[in-house]
Every structure is written in structure tokens, then in C-alpha cells.
């Protein structure tokens, strides 16, 4: 039997998808999304709430995810940590909301270290490694030095905004690691600003988005005809909702679509100190104002497809249940902590007009291994193949295993990995896969 799509566009428009996609990352707690569009890819920088619940923000590093279709996100691992700023920053906690900006062939990440100031880290690629070029805080004004947002205007002048409970700004120099003039305080009238500014520009109008109205926070915005204000309060974008008493937004325009990114407390055991990033697509109103954007479980629709005949990293996924990710210098990032009943979904794979015949994956196990069922379109959909992951001699002793397809597959489909094995036992690690 052959499963064939009528066409890519029809398949994408009418896909029946059984899983929610928000929050977009299920393997870790993530917060304070900072999207950066670069080379036809959305790079999403986030900070990271550690799993341990200490009744406060337990944050030690900054992570990166990327996507070209807005539904499948690749975990690119850690890009910086408190150790990056070990010359001056506290090392026990406090890696709060950052933003990254490309300029002159380099990438500049503005990273607040709670109670120590705002640092700048520089890298040659979006993935890092980011290093501290000045060995001291870029901003060390007060205990309010959190949540930086960086913006480069059309004339090349860059501005850095930050602050809680009021916004500050400086004019950045062209080297992006120093600034000119004094630190200036801004106000938003009526005064609803709290923290988490995001500065952007559209059709000649400047937008300052931010968390507002105290605890619990909503997300609001103000506008100005100048990047230096004065700012006129325009209203609430996202009302207060969910288990997280904070919120923090970023916006991105990508391939003709506008996206609003924020965080929630929707993951299991999540909440105010275990947050998770989510995304909604939106359209500006005709007069340039923001619509009201409400959180959804569904998330956004895909705007592209993936090629299943190219090597796909296992940490690229649209949705997962139960699994985690780890990384090391030799392997990079890989999927781990796989147990019986866990699952992963990768969306909108375009198999073309000719079915592949085999499925290959790289796996490792220090125990008895396990089984991976590969299905399309749902967790109970047609079974393409069953791959047996054996004992390989260690959790990072990788073997490449190939299984023959039982069923031909063409066109565009979602791919489901369903894991089976001994109850309660860790089964195997999963590094990459592809069809041939």
C-alpha cells in the first residue's frame, strides 16, 4: 500500500495534527525568548530554568534553538553561561534574559548577570562560542540592570534598553562593546512599565514592548516617532494568563509572517520558576497597532518542509514526551533519557515522489537497548519500520542501525517516533536519523 500526498501545499494546509505544539520546547524549561532572523533561519536565544525547584529563578546558562519552518526546533545547546563572565559576574545563579544581534560579521549577545550588571559577549557565528571581550560589565548602573534589548536603527546607530522597574537606554558605539554619553531614564505614560523591554521598528514607528502592570504581568507596548521617546502607551498585547507570574516577549518577521514569542508555565511541574517558551503568529492591524494575542496550545502552522533524506539531528523536533537532551564536546547535542512510552514528533517531512527503502539511526545504550517504531501522521498511523536499538557498550558508544521500510511513503507527512522496551529502564540515546 502506498501513502501519497496530493501536493505539498494541500498537505500543509489541511494537516490533522493531534499534538499541541506550545510550549515549543518540551525537553527543558526555557524563558525570555529573544529571536534573531539570520540567513533564512530563526535563531531563538533563551535562558534556562533549572529543573531543581528552589522557589526562585535558578538560572546558570543561555541556550540556542533554531528553525527554518517554525514548527521543528533544533536544540543547538549552550552558547554562554555564568562562566563566560567569571571575571566579574556572580557564579552561583542569575543568568537572566539576553538578546543577540549580528553586526559587521560578528554576533553580540547582551547578557544580564543578576546583581552584577549586563555583560556583552562576542562570537563569530550565531552558535558561539561567545567570549567576554571587555572583562567587565558593559552596564553596571544599579540593581535594575536586567533584560537588555539591542536595536540598530536604519542610520546604523545602535541603542541598548534595559531595566526594572523603569527603562534605561544608552547609545552604543559602532564596536557594539561600548557606549557614548550617559545612561538615560525613560518613562511610559501612563506608567505601566515593569521589565523585559523589546525595541523594534516598523514603517517608521518605534515600538517598545514590555512586561507591565506588576505581578502577575501582562505584555503591553508603547510607540514613539523616535528611538529615544517620549513613549505613548498603546495598550495590552497579551493579557495575564497561565501559571507563570512573569512574562517576556520578542517579535520576529520571517518569510512574510509575524511571530510573537513569550513564555508560560505550561510544562509538567512548570510555573513561575519553571517557564516554557511559546509562539503565536499574528498580523498587525491596518493602523499599525498590535492585535490582542492570546496564548494557545496549538501554536503556529509550518511555513516550510524538511528533507528526510538528509541527516536530521535527533534533537530536531516539533513535540516530544518524556525525553531529554544532553551534549558533549565529541557528539554535540543528542536525545537521552528515553523510556518506554516516550515519543517524539517531527513535522512536514517531504518524501517527494519516490519512496525511500530504508531508515537509518545512530543510537547508543549501556543496558539492553530498546525499540523505536517509526510511524507517519499519528502515534497510531501507518508503521514505516521498527528499529531495534541494541546494547552498544555505553551511553556514548554509538552504532548506526538500519531498518527496511515496510510501507512506501511519498509526499508530505509528520513523523512519529514511538519508544518501546523494558518498563522503567532507560533504553538508549539517539543522535541522528535519515531515510535512504
| Mean pLDDT (10-residue bins), the chain, 436 residues | 37 44 97 98 97 84 98 98 98 97 97 97 97 98 93 98 96 98 90 94 98 95 96 95 92 98 94 96 98 97 98 98 96 98 98 98 98 97 98 98 97 98 97 98
pLDDT score of 405: 98
pLDDT score of 242: 78
Alpha-carbon span 208 to 231, nearest angstrom: 8
pLDDT score of 205: 98
pLDDT score of 51: 86
Query: What are the grid coordinates assigned to 49, written together?
Result: 530554568
pLDDT score of 406: 95
Alpha-carbon span 154 to 175, nearest angstrom: 17
pLDDT score of 19: 59
Helix H or strand E encompassing 349: strand 343-350
pLDDT score of 324: 98
**Residues facing 232 on adjacent strands:** 189, 223
**DSSP class per residue in 242-303:** SS-S----EEEEETTEEEEEEEES-STT-BTTB-EEEEEEE---TTSPPPP----SS----S
Spatial contact of 327 and 335, defined as CB atoms under 8 Å apart: no
Residues marked active site are found at 32, 195
Alpha-carbon span 206 to 431, nearest angstrom: 43
Spatial contact of 326 and 334, defined as CB atoms under 8 Å apart: yes
Alpha-carbon span 119 to 289, nearest angstrom: 33
Q: Alpha-carbon dihedral of residues 143, 148, 152, 158, nearest 10 degrees? A: 20
Task: Report helix, strand or coil for 99.
Answer: strand
- What b/e sequence results for 19-31 when a residue is b if at least 16 CB atoms lie within 10 Å of its CB, and e otherwise? bebbbbbbbbbbb
**Residues facing 49 on adjacent strands:** 29
**Residues facing 210 on adjacent strands:** 220
Alpha-carbon span 254 to 84, nearest angstrom: 30
Alpha-carbon span 206 to 15, nearest angstrom: 37
Query: What are the grid coordinates assigned to 20, written together?
Result: 499541541
pLDDT score of 8: 35
Alpha-carbon span 354 to 4, nearest angstrom: 10
Alpha-carbon span 350 to 5, nearest angstrom: 9
Alpha-carbon span 125 to 102, nearest angstrom: 9
pLDDT score of 267: 94
Alpha-carbon span 160 to 198, nearest angstrom: 10
What is the CA 340 to chain-centroid distance, rounded? 27
Amino acid at each position: 500500500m502506498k501513502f501519497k500526498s496530493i501536493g505539498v501545499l494541500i498537505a500543509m494546509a489541511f494537516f490533522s495534527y493531534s499534538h499541541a505544539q506550545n510550549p515549543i520546547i518540551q525537553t527543558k524549561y526555557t524563558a525570555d525568548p529573544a529571536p534573531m532572523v539570520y540567513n533564512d533561519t530563526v535563531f531563538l536565544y533563551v535562558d534556562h530554568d533549572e529543573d531543581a525547584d528552589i522557589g526562585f529563578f535558578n538560572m546558570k546558562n543561555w541556550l540556542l534553538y533554531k528553525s527554518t519552518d517554525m514548527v521543528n526546533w533544533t536544540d543547538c545547546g549552550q552558547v554562554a553561561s555564568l562562566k563566560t563572565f567569571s571575571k566579574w559576574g556572580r557564579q552561583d545563579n542569575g543568568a537572566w534574559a539576553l538578546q543577540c544581534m549580528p553586526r559587521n560579521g560578528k554576533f553580540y549577545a547582551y547578557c544580564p548577570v543578576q546583581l552584577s550588571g549586563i555583560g556583552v559577549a562576542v562570537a563569530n557565528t550565531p552558535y558561539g562560542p561567545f567570549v567576554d571581550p571587555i572583562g567587565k560589565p558593559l552596564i553596571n548602573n544599579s540593581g535594575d540592570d536586567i533584560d537588555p534589548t539591542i536595536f540598530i536603527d536604519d542610520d546604523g546607530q545602535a541603542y541598548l534598553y534595559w531595566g526594572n522597574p523603569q527603562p534605561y537606554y544608552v547609545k552604543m558605539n559602532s564596536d557594539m562593546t561600548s557606549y557614548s554619553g550617559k545612561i538615560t531614564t525613560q518613562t511610559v505614560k501612563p506608567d505601566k512599565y515593569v521589565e523585559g523591554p523589546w525595541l523594534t521598528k516598523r514603517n517608521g514607528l518605534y515600538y517598545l514592548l514590555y512586561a507591565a502592570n506588576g505581578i502577575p504581568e501582562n505584555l503591553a507596548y508603547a510607540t514613539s516617532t523616535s528611538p529615544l521617546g517620549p513613549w505613548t502607551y498603546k495598550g495590552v498585547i497579551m493579557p495575564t494568563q497561565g501559571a507563570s507570574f512573569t512574562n517576556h516577549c520578542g517579535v520576529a518577521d520571517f518569510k512574510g509572517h509575524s511571530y510573537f514569542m513569550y513564555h508560560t508555565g505550561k510544562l509538567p511541574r512548570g510555573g513561575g520558576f519553571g517557564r516554557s517558551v511559546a509562539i503565536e503568529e499574528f498580523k498587525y492591524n491596518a493602523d499599525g497597532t498590535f492585535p490582542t494575542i492570546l496564548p494557545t496550545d496549538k501554536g503556529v502552522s509550518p511555513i516550510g518542509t524538511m528533507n528526510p533524506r538528509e541527516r536530521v539531528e535527533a534533537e530536531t523536533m516539533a513535540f516530544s514526551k518524556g525525553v531529554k537532551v544532553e551534549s558533549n564536546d565529541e557528539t554535540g547535542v543528542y536525545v537521552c533519557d528515553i523510556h518506554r512510552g516516550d515519543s517524539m514528533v517531527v513535522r512536514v517531512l517531504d518524501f517527494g515522489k519516490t519512496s525511500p527503502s530504508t531508515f537509518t539511526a545512530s543510537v547508543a545504550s549501556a543496558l539492553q537497548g530498546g525499540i523505536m517504531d517509526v510511524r507517519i501522521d499519528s502515534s497510531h498511523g501507518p508503521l514505516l519500520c521498527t528499529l531495534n536499538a541494541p546494547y552498544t557498550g555505553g551511553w556514548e558508544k554509538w552504532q548506526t542501525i538500519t531498518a527496511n521500510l515496510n510501507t512506501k511513503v511519498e509526499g508530505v507527512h509528520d513523523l512519529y517516533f514511538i519508544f518501546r522496551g523494558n518498563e522503567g529502564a532507560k533504553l538508549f540515546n539517539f543522535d541522528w536519523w535519515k531515510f535512504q
